[in-house]
Chain A
Amino acid sequence: MKHTLRKKFYLIFLNIFYTMICLLALVPILYVFLLSISSGGGALLTGSLGALTLENYRKIIVEEPFLTWLFNSVILSVGTMLLAMGTSISASYAFSRFHFKGKNKAMWFLLLLNAFPQILSMFAIFRLFRLMNLLDSHLGLVFVYAGSMCIFGIWNMKGYFDSIPIEIEEAAKIDGSGNLQLILKIIMPLARPAIIVTGVMILIFVWNEYLFATTFMLREESYTLAGGLYQLQANDYSRSWPLFSAAAILVSVPILIIFFCIQKHMVSGLTAGGVKG
């Protein structure tokens, strides 16, 4: 009897504790949301919100080139995802299924390259792209993003492919399927969690990247959402934070939606099936 009572108190304590932790996690986000629907930056100083309004949202969509930026973001992230996934799926299949000389060394070398912070070679890429006339072009950025996410894709999907029993493929091979057919018809459906999570991670990476987007894109109308938003708050000396907050919310919502849609695959897709989610 005493034992269950103690357990009950413990559970109440835990519930209070986690409610507070969740509040801590959410306070900054809620604060921004409140800011975005408040009228005028003065509200921040006084602490009262003033009248609630969607004016900031209207302003950001109509008065800033928001839709152009959105279009750029979509083009870049989808283009990058296609290029990076297209190249890395076949490579991770080869790494997972074939035995060949230098395989482990190549995998390790890729990991090493991935550890090099891309910001550090940004200047070198900038110089090269200037020579090759790839600055200020979507294609150039797609190459940069796809190149840097390709290694993540190979490693992440290779691990998952490893966890798919090879017997399934052997059966299909006897039926006369070629390797490419195997990838398309057997591996891709079986590795769905890993492929979805990897693809979405690449998408989110591009959506959120601002440093390359602002360094390599020289005109305002070729910025992505992240780059545009970054410039908006860097250049705007009036510092209209309600406006920025509205933009921040608008940029985050699509990502939040995608993220929560794939959440159930997240753990298994990111840990090569070694962990049950």
Chain B
Amino acid sequence: MENTKKKYLPWLYCLPSFLLIGAIVLFPILYTGYISFTNMNLYHWQDYTFIGIDNYVRALGKVDSGFLSALATTLLWTLVNMVLDVAIAYVLAVGLNTDGLRAKRIYKTLLVFPWAMPAYVSILVWRVGMFNTEFGLLNKIVTSLGFDKVDFLSRNVPAFISCMVLNLWMSLPYMIVMIDGGLQSIDKSMYESAVLDGANPWQKSIYITVPSLKKIMAPIVIMTTFTMFKQFDILYLLTMQKGAVSGSTLQTIITYAHQNAFVSNNYGLSSAVSMVIFVIIILFSLWTNTAAVPERKGK
């Protein structure tokens, strides 16, 4: 009696949250999978029929469906942003921890502002205040230097770079705070003995700071990678929001799926794309799982 109670007790504790997650997260994913095999769209809202894997063939098979280029854009986006995010945050955090930098606290507080601002507010503010051809600060600077106005968001490459700059502006504070926290937990005596051995700052960085940070930062870096991969708001609000379409044809797989579901109302195709994205995420998780999860096992 006591034993069976012990066996079910943990699941009882988890039950409320599992019910919630099952209804809101798991079931809709399964339902999306179901829709992906039908021709559901605006004209077939109730009387949809099963069409097998046609949607998948259309998304993956046709090069001009836009999915493959969206996938390439997403991978490039995730890679470039992650590298820059971690590298810049590392340099800034290490600099902040220089001995004798008394204003460190002030800098840290001010740098956190972009993180604390609501994301959609930041994005809209950048769209108007920075990138806009008429009002934008960037164009004011460009024209005052004697150059022609730049339309940052209308062509793909400038739009990609603009989105990236904004993304880094929004995500760097978090990374800086986390790396800064990690730096505090490194044993200072290691640096002292390194100095005695005649190590220069560069060597200290490579042989002490980076390896010590690796363990602490791994889960944070992986989580951030997922966030970058999932990033939707920036590209959507900067270039394709209703009434403010900028002209660039840049798509990530997430905006591509959203566009198909809520703009062209092709729910079947959109669901198929969503399921493909899910498979990519599973593969990525399996790959990082071996690298990161053992660190967090705990008890």
A residues at B contact (CB < 8 Å): 7, 10-11, 14-15, 17-19, 21-22, 24-29, 31-32, 35, 44-45, 47, 83, 86-88, 90-91, 93-98, 100, 103-104, 106, 108, 110-125, 127-128, 143-144, 146-148, 150-151, 154, 159, 162-163, 166, 179, 204, 207-208, 210-211, 215, 226, 229-230, 233-235, 237, 241, 244-245, 248, 251-252, 255-256, 259-260, 263, 266-268, 270-272, 274-277
Alpha-carbon gap, A15 to B95, bound state (A)? 10
Q: How far is the CA of A56 from the CA of B52 in the complex (A)?
A: 55
- Chain B hits for A93, CB < 8 A: 13
Q: Is B120 in the interface zone, CB < 8 Å from A?
A: yes
CB-CB under 8 A from B233, the residues of chain A are 211
**Could you write out 6 A-B pairs with CB less than 8 Å apart?**
A25-B173, A113-B21, A122-B258, A122-B261, A263-B109, A275-B185
Contacts of B100 in A (CB 8 A): 7, 11
Interface residue tally on B, bucketed by range = 35 or more
A44 cross-chain contacts in B, Cβ below 8 A: 134-135
- Return B294 CB to nearest CB of chain A, in Å: 10
With A and B bound together, what is the CA distance between A117 and B114 in angstroms?
23
The number of inter-chain residue pairs (CB within 8 angstroms) is 257
A143-B24, A208-B121, A230-B120 are known contacts; what are 17 more A-B pairs with Cβ within 8 Å? A10-B98, A25-B114, A26-B113, A27-B137, A29-B125, A95-B10, A114-B25, A123-B267, A147-B20, A147-B21, A150-B17, A154-B17, A159-B296, A234-B243, A251-B121, A259-B116, A271-B216
Question: Which A residues are CB-close (under 8 A) to B184?
Answer: 275-277
- Distance between Cα atoms of A259 and B110 in the complex (Å): 13
B61 adjacent to chain A (CB < 8 Å): no
Segment 85-106 of B: residues with Cβ below 8 Å from A: 92, 95-96, 98, 100-101, 103
- A residues near B109, Cβ cutoff 8 Å: 260, 263
A88 touches B116 (CB 8 A): no
How many angstroms between the C-alpha atoms of A44 and B17 in the bound complex? 50
**Beta-carbon contacts under 8 Å, B231-260 to A:** 232-233, 241-244, 254, 257-258
The residues of B that contact A35 with a CB separation of less than 8 Å are 129
A106 to chain B, nearest CB (A): 8
CB distance B20 to A143 under 8 Å? yes
Interface centre among B14, B17, B24 (most CB of A within 10 A): B17
CA distance A252 to B218 in the complex (A): 31
| Interface residues, chain B, with chain A CB atoms under 8 Å away | 7, 9-11, 13-14, 16-18, 20-21, 23-29, 31-32, 35, 92, 95-96, 98, 100-101, 103, 107, 109-122, 124-126, 128-130, 134-135, 137, 140, 169, 173, 177-178, 180-182, 184-185, 216, 219-220, 226, 230, 232-233, 241-244, 254, 257-258, 261-262, 267, 270-271, 274, 277-278, 281-282, 284-285, 289, 293, 296-299
